[in-house]
């Protein structure tokens, strides 16, 4: 899976925006920021799953 | 007979702020005026400008601002008479200072100065327009708009003034990029093997020239670079002289998975395809990217557009499509293509380092390159100018591959030759050009 496909995916952009917002929010606690940062592997796995599913659907259409 | 109209000025306010500065025990007024960009030239009366310069010198040497010191310095410089002698100095000092209105007076004095700059720029343009040939009109108007933009910049005291919150936001963005192992000084291209050759991507402050014969995909290549930059949070601007904005819109949608956009012109879009288009548009719509369509611009006009885009949108990457169709600024450029190219590059290229942006200039290769594979292309095939070779930090030439092996039947193999690469070795990279989506992929 190409790193570019993951980093330009809307889900990844959404996670990145949440990290940015959390780090700049003066009311955000350290543990909440950490829990958002900890979501990264889950986000990456979800994107990878979606990209693979998309590729399989494409293959099914090409070779019915 | 009517009196000639006087240029805008605020003489009393000039005296008032100078008076405040001369009696300024806390020595804050000079610093405040310097913060506001006041220079000796800001004053309408030359004597006031001269006095301001002397006050600045005394302040810089951290000596007390007192009348005898001022008089002595002016006398030593032989300029005491030029400002009206000691009596005029005392008159200014005695001008009742109004500290409560200092900032207001300062802003007014500055505003009048800006008005005078604008009037001078426009008057020059009007004078030139009377005598101009039709070829000169574009350049004259562009110069005038530069003068006005310069004046507006002078008024905008907040330019370059950032809150700590803004700075921290930018810092966190850079930190997140760095946590992904990405440099904040290079803008990545959509193709990883090209990024590896270029040391991570396109450098800030650098100029990249992408050249090819017609129909080899220059526009598609440039657009993909602009899109990829925007996806990576580097605001980008595609400056199109050649393609209509709808055509550019088609290509942006295609690059986001909108399918074969040629079906639009055939009136051949199915319900399923509309759903695909919906998904693609959702992905593309929020990109920090702009498209500017020019009609026959001169290099001056393009330069003004770049400055405005950086100022208004914080743009970091520009793609210009393409060099050879920039219009001549005057009759001599119209006669001499080489002169026009060189002057265009001389106007546009310095902006990269001055504004801290990355510039991608698309260019056409000469007929000599026709039918050659990319391996046989060389910098000499860049049409009409050798100045490109000097100015560009990186040159990429797009040509056909020597074989015809594509990844699919819609793919046409291309090779990008890099004969100049300031950040790495010269080399070749293979890409596939997909006709229906007008995109390059590895």
Residue A37 Cα, gap to closest chain B Cα (Å): 11
At A10-47, the pLDDT tens digits run 888 888 888 888 888 888 888 898 999 899 889 989 98
The pLDDT confidence band at residue B378, using thresholds 50, 70 and 90, is low
User: Nearest CA of chain A to the CA of B183: how many Å?
Assistant: 14
* Cα distance between residue B84 and residue B15, in whole Å: 14
Lowest mean pLDDT among A25-29, B35-39, B250-254, B418-422: B35-39
Strand-pair category, B289-293 with B427-434 = unpaired
Residue B157: pLDDT band with limits 50, 70, 90 = very low
Least confident of B168-172, B182-186, B305-309: B182-186
Choice between B221 and B434, residue whose per-residue pLDDT is larger: B221
A51 reaches B (C-beta below 8 A): no
Residues B127-150, mean pLDDT to the nearest whole number: 78
Contact B36, B45 (CB under 8 A): no
Please report, rounded to a whole number, the percentage of residues in chain B having pLDDT higher than 70.
87
Q: Give the pLDDT confidence score for residue B159 in this predicted structure.
A: 43
Residue span of the structural domain in which B348 resides: 183-441
Mark out chain B residues that contact chain A at CB-CB < 8 A. Answer: 165, 168-169, 172-173, 176, 180, 188, 190, 192, 228, 231-232, 282-283
Residue B233 is predicted with a pLDDT of 78
The predicted structure's pLDDT at residue B178: 76
Give residue B357's pLDDT band: very low, low, confident or very high (50, 70, 90). Answer: very high
Pairing verdict, β B394-400 and B358-364: unpaired
Whether the Cβ atoms of residue B401 and residue B394 lie closer than 8 Å to each other: no
How far, in Å, CA of B428 to CA of B275, rounded?
Answer: 38
Chain B contact set for A1 (CB, 8 A): none
| Mean pLDDT over the full length of chain B | 81
pLDDT of residue B202: 92
* List of chain A residues whose C-beta atoms are within 8 Å of the C-beta of residue B431: none
Residues near B321 by beta carbon (within 8 Å), at least 6 away in sequence: B218, B219, B222, B238, B239, B240, B241, B242, B243, B362
How many C-beta neighbours within 10 Å does residue B287 have? 17
Q: What SS3 string covers B116-168?
A: HHHHHHHHHHHHHHHHCCHHHHHHHHHHHHHHHHHHHHHHCCCCCCCCHHHHH
Cβ contacts of A4 on chain B, cutoff 8 Å: 188, 190, 192, 228
Q: Are residues B386 and B326 in the same domain?
A: yes
CA distance, residue A27 to nearest chain B CA (Å): 14
CB contact under 8 A, A7 and B232: yes
Closest CA relative to residue B149, chosen from B4, B330, B305? B305
Domain contains B172: no
Query: How far apart, in whole angstroms, are the C-alpha atoms of residue B51 and residue B57?
Result: 10
Q: Give contacts of B188 with chain A, Cβ < 8 Å.
A: 4
CA A49 to CA A43: how far, in whole Å? 10
Does B295 score more than 70 pLDDT?
yes
- Interface touch A8/B228, C-beta < 8 Å: yes
Q: How far is A41 from chain B (nearest CA, A)?
A: 13
DSSP-assigned beta bridge partners for residue B318: B237, B359
Element (H, E) at B299: helix B299-313
The residues pairing with B321 across neighbouring beta strands, listed in sequence order, are B240
Q: Are B381 and B340 in contact (CB under 8 A)?
A: no
Beta bridge partners of B414: B400, B431
The answer to whether A3 contacts B165, with C-beta atoms less than 8 Å apart, is no
Instruction: Average the pLDDT over B192-211 and give the result.
Output: 89
pTM exceeds 0.80, yes or no:
no
The reported pLDDT for the residue numbered B1 is 43
Residue B107 shares a structural domain with residue B47:
yes
Q: Say if residue B174 is preceded by a cis peptide, omega within 30 of 0.
A: no
How many contacts, defined by CB atoms under 8 Å, are there between A and B?
A: 25
Q: Among all residues of chain B, which has the CA nearest to that of A3?
A: B192
Report yes or no on B175 lying in a domain: no
Band of pLDDT at residue B2, cut at 50, 70 and 90: very low
What's the count of helices (H) and strands (E) in chain A, helices before strands?
4, 0
Which of B370, B365, B393, B400 lies closest to B381, judged by CA? B365
Within-domain flag for B178: no
Cα four-point dihedral sign B370, B373, B374, B380:
negative
B192 and B105 co-located in one domain = no
Q: Are residues B156 and B187 in the same domain?
A: no
pLDDT of residue B81 exceeding 80: yes
Residue appearing with tokens 């005057």: B330
CB contacts of B165 in chain A (<8 Å) are 24
Q: Does A38 touch chain B (CB under 8 A)?
A: no
Least confident of B41-50, B315-324, B381-390: B381-390
Q: Does residue B153 have a pLDDT over 80?
A: no
Instruction: Kindly state whether residues B425 and B295 are assigned to the same domain.
Output: yes
Q: Residue B160: pLDDT above 60? A: no
Neighbours of B408 (CB within 10 A): 8
Please say whether the beta carbons of B442 and B431 come within 8 A. Answer: yes
Percent of chain B with pLDDT over 90: 11
Q: Are residues B245 and B392 in the same domain?
A: yes
Q: Which residues of B touch A47 (CB under 8 A)?
A: none
- Of the candidates A7, A8, A24, the beta carbon closest to that of B172 is on A24
Task: Band the pLDDT of B26: cuts 50, 70, 90.
Answer: low
Note whether residue B194 is domain-resident: yes
Q: Are residues B218 and B325 both part of a single domain?
A: yes
- Chain B contact present for A5, CB below 8 A: no
Q: What is the mean pLDDT of residues A54-60?
A: 70
Residues of chain A positioned with their CB less than 8 A from the CB of B190: 4
Using a CB-CB cut-off of 8 Å, the residues of chain A touching B168 are 24
> Could you tell me if residue B287 is left (phi over 0), alpha (psi between -120 and 50 degrees) or otherwise beta?
beta
CB contact under 8 A, A20 and B176: yes
Is the pLDDT at B231 greater than 60? The verdict is yes
Closest of B110, B108, B109, B137 to residue B125, by C-alpha: B137
- Residue B187 — φ and ψ, nearest 5°? -100, 115
Band of the pLDDT at B163, cuts 50, 70, 90? confident
CB contact under 8 A, A20 and B165: no
User: Could A24 and B165 be called an inter-chain contact, meaning their C-beta atoms sit closer than 8 Å?
Assistant: yes
Assess whether B233 and B278 both reside in one domain: yes
Per-residue pLDDT band for B321 (boundaries 50, 70, 90) equals: very high
Nearest to A12 by CA among A1, A3, A22: A3
Determine which of B120-124, B344-348, B402-406 has the lowest per-residue pLDDT on average: B402-406
> Which pLDDT belongs to residue B210?
92
Q: How far apart are CA B321 and CA B212, in angstroms?
A: 12
Report the pLDDT averaged over residues B375-386: 65
Over range B25-47, report the average pLDDT: 79
Same domain, B141 and B187: no
Residue A16, chain B, CB below 8 Å: the answer is yes
Cα–Cα distance, B145 to B147 (Å, whole number): 5
Question: Domain ranges in chain A?
Answer: 3-62
Burial class (CB in 10 A: 0-12, 13-18, 19+), B193: middle
Contact (CB<8Å) B169/A2: no
Q: Is the per-residue pLDDT at B379 higher than 90?
A: no
- State how many domains chain B has: 2
Torsion of CA B333, B245, B202, B307, to 10 degrees: 60
In this structure, what CATH number is given to the domain that contains residue B132?
Answer: 1.10.860.10
Q: Which residue among B172, B192, B283 sits closest to A23, beta carbon to beta carbon? A: B172
Residue, of B423 and B48, whose pLDDT is higher: B48
Does any CB of chain B come closer than 8 Å to the CB of residue A36?
A: no
Whether the Cβ atoms of residue B432 and residue B193 lie closer than 8 Å to each other: no
pLDDT digits (tens, 9 = 90+) for B9-19: 998 899 889 98
The CATH number of the domain holding residue B201 is 3.40.50.300
């Amino acid at each position: 899976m190409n790193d570019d496909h993951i980093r330009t995916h809307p889900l990844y952009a959404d996670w990145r925006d949440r990290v940015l917002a959390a780090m700049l929010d003066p009311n955000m606690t350290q543990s909440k920021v950490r829990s958002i940062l900890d979501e990264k592997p889950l986000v990456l796995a979800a994107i990878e799953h979606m990209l693979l599913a998309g590729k399989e659907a494409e293959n099914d259409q090409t070779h019915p | 007979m009517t009196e000639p109209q006087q240029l805008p000025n605020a003489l009393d306010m000039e005296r008032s702020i100078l008076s405040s500065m001369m009696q300024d025990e806390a020595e804050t007024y000079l610093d405040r005026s310097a913060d506001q960009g006041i220079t000796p030239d800001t004053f309408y009366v030359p004597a006031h400008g001269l006095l301001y310069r002397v006050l600045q010198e005394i302040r810089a040497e951290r000596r007390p601002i007192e009348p005898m010191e001022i008089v002595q310095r002016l006398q030593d410089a032989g300029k005491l008479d030029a400002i009206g002698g000691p009596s005029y100095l005392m008159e200014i000092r005695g001008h009742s200072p109004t500290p409560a209105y200092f900032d207001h007076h300062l802003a007014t004095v500055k505003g009048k100065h800006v008005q005078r700059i604008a009037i001078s720029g426009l008057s020059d343009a009007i004078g030139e327009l009377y005598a101009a040939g039709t070829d000169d009109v574009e350049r004259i108007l562009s110069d005038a708009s530069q003068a006005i933009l310069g004046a507006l910049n002078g008024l905008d005291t907040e330019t370059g003034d950032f809150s700590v919150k803004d700075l921290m936001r930018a810092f966190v963005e850079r930190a997140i990029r760095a946590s992904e192992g990405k440099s904040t000084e290079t803008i990545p291209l959509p193709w990883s093997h090209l990024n590896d050759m270029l040391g991570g991507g396109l450098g800030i402050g650098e100029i990249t020239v992408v050249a090819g014969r017609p129909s080899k995909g220059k526009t598609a290549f440039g657009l993909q670079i602009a899109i990829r930059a925007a996806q990576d949070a580097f605001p980008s601007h595609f400056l199109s002289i050649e393609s209509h904005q709808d055509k550019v819109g088609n290509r942006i949608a295609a690059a986001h998975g909108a399918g074969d956009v040629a079906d639009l012109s055939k009136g051949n879009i199915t319900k399923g395809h509309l759903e695909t288009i919906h998904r693609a548009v959702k992905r593309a719509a929020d990109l920090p990217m702009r498209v500017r369509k020019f009609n026959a611009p001169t290099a001056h006009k393009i330069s003004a557009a770049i400055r405005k885009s950086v100022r208004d949108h914080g743009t970091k990457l520009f793609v210009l499509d393409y060099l050879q169709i920039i219009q001549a600024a005057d009759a001599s450029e119209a006669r001499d293509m080489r002169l026009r190219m060189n002057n265009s590059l001389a106007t546009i290229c310095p902006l990269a380092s001055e504004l801290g942006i990355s510039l991608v200039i698309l260019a056409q290769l000469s007929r000599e390159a026709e039918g050659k594979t990319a391996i046989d292309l060389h910098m000499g095939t860049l049409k009409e100018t050798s100045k490109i070779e000097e100015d560009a930090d990186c040159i990429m030439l797009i040509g056909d591959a020597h074989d015809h092996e594509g990844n699919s039947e819609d793919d046409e193999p291309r090779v990008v030759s890099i004969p100049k690469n300031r950040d790495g070795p010269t080399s070749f990279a293979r890409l596939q050009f997909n006709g229906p989506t007008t995109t390059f992929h590895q």
